[in-house]
Structure 1
């Protein structure tokens, strides 16, 4: 009897440890955080989702759009704005599910970004792996955009950008940890994707449906915002970003389109060329390609040359446009600093570390084949 009594007491003590656990419906889960600065006031926006309505059993079909709540707080500092947000809170807030951070253009200056870093890095809940974006649009509107088929907003470009990039690449998404790493590196340029809302591409029952898209990027170097550039001007960046890049390219013979080429698995290298006191760079790129469509009767050898010429032009155009605003998204200066820090520092002091003549040569090699062709046969 005494043994049973002791066992009952021990079990009671162990079970009592769960008395303060909260149920899912008793917690407000923040999934996205936005920060803007207007009229000398910081503005915090948060996107909040009801996980009870988002969760669904396998084989069921969502018939209603999941509700999206957007919170807003203002203050002279980010802490004041956060306090203002909490004043009207109805339940406990959890920050452990934040997967996206969106910054307004006016926040992308050192004194304001330092507050963003301080607030997010000191939090024990907000992770370093969240995706980070810039925007010129209204954050309240951005946070209320829903994806296709009444899916959860967690399946939108805001929270899951990598799948879209792997299928068709433009501007590579960046996580917060890599943003900080490049931001604090003097020789690096941060390419921060910018989001906007578009109604140009998709309709739902003949009604325009707003969706998110990456329309360009903010370029930040030496912790200074160099400017914003549209997506088409930054097309060359994707070929030097990651081997995960996949995209189609229409190549031209004269003024007429010759064919559509699907390119993947780019492998790039940067060589430093020193001539006296000047430094130049050579970019080497190897990429696999497949001919998707042929618009003019062209031999595969000629199509290969046209594809390589189109890639060289795309890479050079992006370089010239970014060099004009003293940005370096190809990270050429970073390669020099790693190879010769002293020389890079001297060039930087003289403001000669990067100019429009710095890119001397672009060597592109495309391994091209037709759909269904196993080997590359030049004819």
Structure 2
């Protein structure tokens, strides 16, 4: 009997346990990382959330605002800025829950951006699937903005941009892995969504409530920042982004506003037409439209024509605005590079890939389905 007890005690010493396990409240969880550059110094911002509070919000309605902590570190290098941040850390920090990376305009310089890539790519905790943004706003203010109804900041545009884009598409959110792929592509122009704080649209108990929005995008062509365009200047880009695009447009006639159409399921292709060194492009776009409102008496065919005209105007505006910066968000030169690499190389050497004189033709076809019954409608 004694021998059995001794053996059991000895075996129990060999068993692994959870003695080094950490409770949720004993770890500081970083959910967003921001990088700025001013006066020769890198400034790192981190957003830290209380996951215990976030878990409680799943079970019951919270009456208090979920706490948001924002950390700040500064240094001559990005690593030095992180070390400065760690010096005041009170508990172990976990980077495994970072879902957003925000970069200031000053960091979009190729040399500085390479430090950001080196830091995030070498980390064993930070994932490649995080959302990436640019911004012109103060980073600390950006990370302190809270969503509606005292919800966790994890339910904001910063961390969950897909739901907002699916309902009403403006500038497509991009994940870090896709940004890297396009950023390093010779002939590609990547559009980095820019975050902005606005307090013009929403109020809480008669007090203006700041909220996040995507107000434009930074255009980066083969690692070089070409410029920034506003959301209204980039509206045409959404129709070539993905078939999941869904948005409404206002249709104009000679007499004024004819109605509004909700468009979805866009399908596009790009043709490259060249004669010697002369190159032109043709974009084919098909989309399905649903009439939402009508303000004037028009036929189905007329509404279809007006819708296609509105789409054409929107897409040409984006093309010309971007081409004035020698940027190519539609990926026209990328298509040329894939089909005629030698011709693309010659044009690239002459810096004549894409400009505001590049010939572009749009072939747009809108199928107005689900028309429904309308009174006083000419058929």
Q: Same fold (TM over 0.5)?
A: yes
CA–CA separation in structure 1 for the residues paired with 2:342 and 2:5: 77
CA–CA separation in structure 2 for the residues paired with 1:305 and 1:346: 39
Q: Which residue of 1 aligns with 2:14?
A: 13
Could you say what secondary structure the match of 1:55 adopts? Answer: helix
Q: Which residue of 1 aligns with 2:279?
A: 279
CA–CA separation in structure 2 for the residues paired with 1:190 and 1:230: 15
TM-score, normalization: structure 2? Answer: 0.96
Deviation per residue, 1:318-341 (Å, 9 max, x gap):
001100000000011111111111
Q: Which residue of 2 aligns with 1:180?
A: 180
Displacement of 1:131: 0.3
Q: Which residue of 1 aligns with 2:227?
A: 227
Q: Is the 1:292–1:371 contact (alpha carbons within 8 Å) kept by the matching residues of 2?
A: no
Q: Which residue of 1 aligns with 2:246?
A: 246
362 and 349 in structure 1: CA distance in 2 versus 1, 3 angstrom threshold: same
User: Which segments of 5 or more consecutive residues in structure 1 lack a partner in the other structure?
Assistant: none
CA–CA separation in structure 1 for the residues paired with 2:47 and 2:355: 42
CA–CA separation in structure 2 for the residues paired with 1:227 and 1:353: 17
Q: Which residue of 2 aligns with 1:161?
A: 161
Please report the RMSD computed on the Cα atoms of aligned residues, expressed in angstroms.
Answer: 1.6
Q: Is the 2:28–2:93 contact (alpha carbons within 8 Å) kept by the matching residues of 1?
A: yes
Q: Is the 1:300–1:369 contact (alpha carbons within 8 Å) kept by the matching residues of 2?
A: no
Q: Which residue of 2 aligns with 1:70?
A: 70
Q: Which residue of 2 aligns with 1:55?
A: 55
Could you say what secondary structure the match of 2:56 adopts? Answer: coil
Displacement of 1:354: 1.1
Displacement of 1:11: 4.1
Name the count of aligned residue pairs: 375
Q: Which residue of 2 aligns with 1:98?
A: 98
Q: Which residue of 2 aligns with 1:300?
A: 300
CA–CA separation in structure 2 for the residues paired with 1:183 and 1:58: 38
Displacement of 1:61: 0.9
Q: Is the 2:166–2:245 contact (alpha carbons within 8 Å) kept by the matching residues of 1?
A: yes
244 and 5 in structure 1: CA distance in 2 versus 1, 3 angstrom threshold: farther
Q: Is the 1:183–1:190 contact (alpha carbons within 8 Å) kept by the matching residues of 2?
A: yes
CA–CA separation in structure 1 for the residues paired with 2:342 and 2:352: 14
Displacement of 1:21: 1.1
Q: Is the 2:281–2:360 contact (alpha carbons within 8 Å) kept by the matching residues of 1?
A: yes
Deviation per residue, 1:14-51 (Å, 9 max, x gap):
2x432111111111000000000001100000000011
TM-score, normalization: structure 1? Answer: 0.96
4 and 334 in structure 1: CA distance in 2 versus 1, 3 angstrom threshold: farther
Asked whether 1:29 is paired with 2:29, we answer yes
